[in-house]
Amino acid sequence: MRIVIADTNLLPLRTELEAGFPPGSVTDWPDPRDTVAVEAAVADAEVLVSSRCPGPTAAAAKNLRLVHAAGAGIDGIEVGALAPGTIVANTHHHEDAIAEYAVAAAILLRRGFLGQDKALRRDEWASPVYRPDVPWGDSLAAATVGFVGFGHIGARAWERFRAFGAHGVAVTRSGDVDAAAVGLDWSGAIGDLGTLLETSDVIVVSVPLTAETTGLIGAGELARARAGAVVINVGRGPVVDERALYEALRDKVIAGAAIDVWYGYPGTGARAAPANLPFRELPNLLMTPHSSGLTRQTFAGRAADIAANVRRLAAGEPPAGVVAVAG
């Protein structure tokens, strides 16, 4: 079986991944930034492992049977351009790492550690013990955490927050979460978003980006949030309107935010503005480069899933984690 892997995140696991493929498999590892090389490699490949498969790449693939994303998102895969019958599958394993990020970000923001770190580097002791104008922080045990989306990430993050004694509420697109079964105070549909914002101290956004969720949280929604609330976006940037979030942070409508998913990304190289607005100037913001899910354990699990699915394909068995089949 000919397999093309166009994802640099998997390079450190190349030996383990290739060992898991069916005997006799031939692998090609083109630079994913070199579209010409990728298109040449997929010309006679049966499997493409990549989170990107735009139209020209799909058109170049004559024998492709499976496109396997190296993560959960498939928004970079143009399913409609693939040959009919081509399977698109994904994998996860990032929920533990992202759950840890959400808890860490909530603690940093609610306790004021970001500002304290910057101040002490200037020999300033920004603590209420030394400066009465500095407010006390808040513990997670005193928090209500609101989840906008309660899939793999939201559910795992709730397990972590719950261990600290926090209360939890959630809204989802389906509205079918059994709140009592998972220990939430309540759960509802997206129509209950306003109530969630009004009652949450920490707001964790992990809902996928769709036409319906783009701009789901705008200026009106943020105005309903508690003044001391912090927003943690680990879903997709545009779920939260860029200008609305910037202005809410700048004007202290909300207390802070952690943004791991952005409004702009590098094309080639490792430099690019993450947004059109100057978020970097905001002191009440934790900025990270879409790294919340990036751990060795995340990609070891993903590599194992990908290898297992290629073996299933070779054996004539249906792959796991199928999210689309090209029509």
pLDDT for the residue 268? 76
Q: For the domain that residue 273 is a member of, what is the CATH number?
A: 3.40.50.720
Residue with tokens 């790449």, as numbered in its chain: 57
pLDDT for the residue 91? 96
164 and 15 part of one domain: no
pLDDT tens, residue by residue, 169-211: 999 999 999 999 999 999 999 999 999 999 999 999 999 999 9
What's the domain count of the chain?
A: 2
Dist. CA 71–CA 10, nearest whole Å: 11
Dist. CA 29–CA 6, nearest whole Å: 6
188 and 312 part of one domain: no
pLDDT for the residue 269? 79
134 and 270 part of one domain: yes
Contact 242, 266 (CB under 8 A): no
Domain that holds residue 319: 2-93+296-325
121 and 255 part of one domain: yes
Nearest CA among 100, 170, 108 for reference residue 137: 108
124 and 273 part of one domain: yes
Residue numbers of the chain with a pLDDT score lower than 70: none
135 and 83 part of one domain: no
139 and 230 part of one domain: yes
pLDDT for the residue 281? 98
| DSSP H/E element including 18 | helix 14-20
pTM > 0.85: yes or no: yes
pLDDT tens, residue by residue, 131-145: 999 999 999 999 999
pLDDT for the residue 68? 98
64 and 106 part of one domain: no
